[in-house]
């Protein structure tokens, strides 16, 4: 079989039976990109190990290089060579390519006193407002202007502030962390996100010399320092990728053993597998799952950490389609996360969407027109189809469905998938999937 080269836009998948074998996951794309931003603020080089080979790393590296920062890759290790005087403007050509530019505003203000960053990009799964970021920068003392093409800001000296987020946004929490570590004085952040990737970033910043306390009740206290030094760290395994491959094994009637992602990063997802009747085996090195006796339906609501991760629900949708009965999936984080359902419906998944909060307590999308709850009927008979992948996580759900279908599928827009998964074609082929490029 021919592996898909990076950047390939089309995959042809012929179902080839149960997927079996080992997958070693690399560090999370949601962690590596933020670590790269942190590293540019140091006085000396930093090295990040276990980095994934994904499109978002390439985009973020290009952004940093446009600012005059050196980025050197050696296998799974990336070394960032900071500059004392980075450029203050992120070129508009990076508008919409990923979510990283807005995170650079605070660091650039601390380093050079001004910044311009293009608008936020990434998957079109719901609103990613810059309001939280802008309000935080303003609280630090910056003058901020939101333009049609991006955000411009300037400041003499950023000062610590008391900031309370109206929702525990991961991006906004990371933005405050990356800004507060070099601001003058103390910052107290209330309502912070507590996802493992956020903690991982805080630990890396602490290793660089930042003064950070993780307090109870979603509070983070940061005391600004004069300078950050270079540091080295090894990223933890990607919990989204680990869950995706576990689901791929179960859905196809096989068994995938995921290596390199600790149990504590998967605890809520593993519990869902238990509730569905799957067999799960966990060691210090790996996790594996199978369903020789079939799957039971469940009701699952996504939530912020430590709840069921929103990025986990796309592979879960395919898993629910193979459970014997009616399941409910309630999305509470992004109002448009279920945009991928149409693609799965084309492949035979029997699912209906509702604006009501089903399967859990009323969420912040209650009494809106957002279709954020899904009722899935199993066991759905999956069939091959021609599908255009709308985003990175939806892409993997389409791949899983195609692998379990009764005929061939053609998936376009695969660049989305390659933006977030480490060499996915290579991994899937190693598990026995008949995957070819055109």
Question: How much is the pLDDT for 360?
Answer: 84
Q: Is the pLDDT of residue 259 over 60?
A: yes
Question: How much is the pLDDT for 393?
Answer: 66
Distance CA 157, CA 135 (A): 17
Question: How much is the pLDDT for 428?
Answer: 97
Which tokens hold the place of 211? 């003064």
Sequence-separated (6 or more) residues with CB below 8 Å from residue 367: none
Give residue-wise pLDDT tens across range 164-191: 999 999 999 999 999 999 999 999 999 9
Q: Is the pLDDT of residue 22 over 80?
A: yes
Average pLDDT over residues 143-160: 94
Distance CA 107, CA 86 (A): 10
Q: Give pTM, 2 decimals.
A: 0.92
**22 catalytic per annotation:** no
Within 40-180, residue ranges assigned H as helices are 55-66, 105-112, 131-139, 170-180
Single out the catalytic residue among 56, 58, 123, 238: 123
Q: How confident is the model at residue 379 (pLDDT cuts 50, 70, 90)?
A: very high
Could you give the domains of the chain? 10-25+237-437 (3.65.10.10), 29-234 (3.65.10.10)
Average pLDDT over residues 129-153: 92
The residues that bridge with 72 in the sheet, in sequence order, are 79
């Amino acid at each position: 079989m021919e592996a898909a080269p990076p950047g390939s836009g089309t995959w042809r998948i012929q179902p080839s039976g149960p997927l079996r074998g080992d997958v070693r996951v690399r560090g999370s794309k949601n962690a590596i990109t933020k670590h790269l931003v942190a590293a540019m603020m140091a006085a000396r080089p930093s090295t990040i190990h276990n980095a994934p080979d994904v499109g978002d790393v390439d985009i973020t590296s290009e952004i940093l290089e446009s600012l005059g920062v050196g980025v050197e890759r050696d296998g799974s290790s990336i070394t960032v060579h900071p500059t004392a005087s980075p450029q203050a403007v992120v070129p508009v050509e990076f508008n919409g390519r990923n979510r990283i530019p807005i995170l650079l505003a605070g660091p650039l203000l601390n380093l050079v006193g001004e910044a311009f960053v293009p608008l936020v990009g990434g998957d079109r799964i719901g609103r990613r407002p810059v309001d939280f970021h802008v309000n935080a920068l303003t609280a630090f003392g910056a003058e901020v202007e939101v333009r049609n093409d991006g955000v411009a800001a300037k400041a003499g000296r950023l000062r610590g502030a008391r900031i309370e987020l109206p929702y525990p946004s991961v991006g906004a929490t990371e933005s405050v962390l990356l800004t507060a570590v070099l601001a003058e004085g103390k910052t107290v952040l209330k309502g912070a996100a507590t996802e493992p990737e956020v903690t991982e970033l805080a630990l890396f910043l602490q290793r660089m010399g930042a003064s950070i306390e993780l307090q109870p009740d979603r509070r983070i206290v940061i005391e600004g320092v004069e300078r950050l030094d270079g540091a080295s760290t090894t990223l933890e395994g990607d919990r989204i990728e680990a869950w995706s491959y576990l689901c791929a094994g179960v859905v196809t009637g096989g068994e995938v053993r995921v290596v390199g992602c600790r149990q504590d990063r998967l605890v809520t997802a593993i519990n869902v597998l238990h509730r569905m009747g799957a067999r799960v085996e966990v060691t210090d090195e790996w996790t594996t799952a199978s369903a020789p006796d079939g799957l039971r339906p469940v009701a699952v609501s996504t939530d912020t950490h430590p709840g069921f991760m929103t990025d986990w629900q796309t592979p879960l949708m395919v898993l629910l389609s193979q459970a014997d009965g009616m399941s409910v999936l309630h999305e509470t984080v992004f109002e448009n996360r279920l945009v991928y359902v149409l693609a799965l419906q084309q492949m035979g998944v029997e699912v209906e969407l509702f604006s009501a909060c089903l399967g859990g307590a009323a969420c912040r999308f209650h009494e809106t027109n957002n279709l954020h709850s899904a009722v899935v009927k199993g066991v759905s008979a999956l069939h091959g189809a021609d599908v255009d992948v709308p985003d990175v996580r939806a892409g993997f759900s389409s791949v899983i469905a195609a692998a379990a279908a009764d005929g061939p599928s053609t998936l376009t827009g695969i660049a989305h998938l390659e933006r977030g998964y480490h060499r996915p074609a290579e991994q899937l082929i190693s598990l026995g999937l008949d995957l070819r490029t055109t």
